[in-house]
Each structure stands twice: as C-alpha cells, then as structure tokens.
Amino acid sequence: MEPLGHGGQGSTFRGVDRDSGDSVAIKVLSLKGAKSWKAFDRFEREMDTLAKLTHPGIPKYLDRYAYETTGDYFLVMELIEGVPLSKHMSEPGLSPRKLRSVLDQILEVLAYLHEQRPPLIHRDIKPANVILRPDGTISLVDFGGVRQRGGGETEATTTVGTFGYMAPEQLHGTATAASDIYALGATILTLLARKSPDALPHRGLRFDFEALKLPEPLAHVLPAMLEPDPELRLANVAAVRAALTAKPKPKAPPRAEPKSNSAPKPAAPSKALVRLPEEALALAKTPAPFSIVVWILAALSSGVLLVFEAVFLPFFFQLATALRNRPSSDPRTVAFQADYERFKTRVGEMRNAAAHVADGTRPSA
C-alpha cells in the first residue's frame, strides 16, 4: 500500500495481513537497486536482530520472505501508528516536559539494547527514527544500521549514521554505547531548538550551549552527552540518568576583595591549566649565563609560533577549505576540520612551552 519511508537499506510500505486483517509495516530491499552487498548484509542483520528483541519501544518482528528470482527481500514488522519526531521540527515543537519524557523513554530502549550480549548499538538515532504514538509513548525504528559491539565486525571503510546526529568517532567506523548517547543528545537538542544540527551555533566541533540557553536539567546534561571526545562524554544510560537527577552545582558568589589604598599587584600568570613538557620545565631553570642564550631562542620561538598560530595557520586553513570546495557536512570536511583543530592545539602547546621557558630565563628575572 502507501509508502511510509525510504532509507539506505530499502523502502518501507504499509501492508495488510490477510489472515488477521491487521495493518503491518513491510520493509523491502531490492538487490537491483542496491549499491553494494553491504546493504544486503545490513538488511539481514536487521531482520535477525529484530527477531530476537522484545520491547514495547521497538517494532515487533512478524515475518520475512523473499523472491530470490527477482532479488527482492521483505521484512514484516508491527506497524507503529504515530508521527515521527522530525515532524515537530517544522510544526509546533514539544514542550521541555514532553521532551524529558521522550528522553527517558529512549533511554529505556537504549538500556535494553546495550544490555544485550553482545551489546547492540543502533548507530542512527535521529528525530525521523523516533515515532511518537498518540498515547505519548515512543518507538525507536529503523535498525538497518544496528551493530553488535564486540562482535568482531569491522566497517572502517563505511560510515553508518546521519551527519549532524552522528558521533565524531563514527566517521572512523567506531561505535559504542557512548555513540548512541551522542546521537540521542543531538536529537533532543534539535527538537528543543527546532533547528537542524548544522543550523545551530557552534564553537569548533562543539555546540554553543551558552547561545542556546537551554532549560534545566538539560542545560547541564546535554553538553556532557554531546562531548565530541568519547572519553569525556557520558558513556552510558546509567551515567545520563545520574546526571539528570543530580542537582547542578550553584555558582559561587564573587568574593569581595579587601579594600586597600595601595595599587593591586599584577597577578602572576597561572600555569595550573597548562600541561608543559618536562624539557620545557628543565630549560626554564637554566642557570646564568647560559640562560641568556636560552631566553633569546625561546622568546624568538614563542613570537614566531604566535604569528604562525594567529595569522598563517587560519589563512592556510581557509585557503585549503576553499580549494577543496566540499560542503561542511561532507565526512572528509569534518575529518579535515578535526585534524586542523588538533594541529592548532599542538601549536598552542608548543607556544606555551616556549613562553614558559622565556619567562623563566629572562635576564630581568
């Protein structure tokens, strides 16, 4: 009957079970239209996965069949009546209270998937793949990108997911429970802002949460869910639930400075947040008169690196971006920007080290 959706692993249609008269959803994959065998492998994996799962937030597996002579394969599932959350991007959005309910329900589904042995990673959570039923419950659909964590599968040559909602590590074929947490955070954030991820304000690879002004408790939980570095991100459902129930730390009031008639002494630059290599710390303690030579070289290096970091590096990045002429959502562009940010950070670390050595060996010291 009428089509319900189309994706990389086939098209989904409404159907009717002639025995019971119930409406069903039928996902169809035609090998004639498939670009590679990976699509067929994922379709088989989706069928095998759904056949083993039983959860109210996941469509029930009903049947499978095939017309091998024509290369058409069919997956029959429970039909989820409702509206995909992507509809709320253009229509009146969900209230923060309803979005909190959606978040809690998706977390229940993810907890069920991640607790399987081996764990199952959905890899494509986004508003279009979450159906909101009329009674307010949700269903997570489209398991075409599902992957068994630790199952020995390698897909480093294939990117699975949707740009904007996909965790950065998925660009390299790596997906963990934390990858699903990132995609869920991006889904809730875009529904709150009613804008696609590429239309939201960014600071480098991170969303600009200060500009978005989110309600609590999402204001302190979403940044932790959307941390680009998976090692710093909330790693699993339990961590997200704990963060949602934890009270945000109140901001400490500004300390009153004691009144003094004398001019305040300039504060010494803090190096507590700068991690310096052992070599730089040792060179900063070079005794006189050798310290003068070290000071001259360190001061020159610091100045050159400062000019390179502030002027030449951004210029070359903009030039390379213009010559590549690829959209910002292209995976190669995202990877190139990540490499640029890492290189820029490394240059900044080298400049800080040189400045530390120059500060410690300057003649006036």
* Helix extents (H) in 201-289: 209-212, 218-225, 237-245, 278-283
Question: Nearest to residue 352, comparing CAs of 294, 287, 298, 296?
Answer: 298
124 is catalytic: yes
DSSP line for 73-103: EEEEEE---SEEGGGGGTSSPPPHHHHHHHH
Which residues have a Cβ under 8 Å from the Cβ of 335 and sit 6 or more positions away? 171
Give the count of alpha carbons within 13 A of 90, CB side only: 5
22, 41, 104, 124: which is the annotated catalytic residue? 124
- For residues 59 and 141, is the Cβ–Cβ distance under 8 A? yes
Which residues have a Cβ under 8 Å from the Cβ of 100 and sit 6 or more positions away? 218
CA dihedral 26, 32, 37, 41 (to 10 degrees): 10
Cα separation, 242 vs 266, in Å, equals: 42
**Angle at which helices 290-307 and 331-361 pack, to 10 degrees?**
150
The catalytic residues are 124
